[in-house]
Structure 1
Amino acid sequence: MTKSCNSDLRSLLFSWIIIRQLPNLQRITVGKFRNRSDAEGHLQILRRMIPHARFEVVFDLPVRQYPGKNT
């Protein structure tokens, strides 16, 4: 497998992400997880450690790139 294929496979396997919401509609991806339960458990820890920050668990559906398209 090529590095690109490994990256695509990894993004499919780790589809649950935790984001930290920032001002001006910006966000930072904090972690990627294989299942929602793992993400929720990590979210609880983050909320205890950084209570003033806003975190969310999100399902990150990968965007497919088709050959010949620049979108």
Structure 2
Amino acid sequence: MPPGTDLHDALHSADVSRAVATGLRCRPVAETVADTWAWLRGIGGTAPQRPDRTVEGLDPEVEAKVLGIAGGV
């Protein structure tokens, strides 16, 4: 959420004291990223997608062609 928007302000000004009091632990971003990466590797590298959501991004074949033309890997 961009700063200065209602959603940003609501998200970052929420009172989380009850959650903290009952054990919420805020983890460092690096720890969260490392655990998420390990989870992704453990399930084959692709996160499960909800079947009712549209797939975002380029078709993998189109992406490979574009990257090949652009000198990508």
The TM-score with structure 1 as length reference comes to 0.31
TM-score by length of 2: 0.31
The higher radius of gyration belongs to 2
Q: Which has the higher contact order (CA 8 A, sep 6+)?
A: 1
- Between Structure 1 and Structure 2, the one with more helix by share is 2
Q: Which has the higher strand share?
A: 1
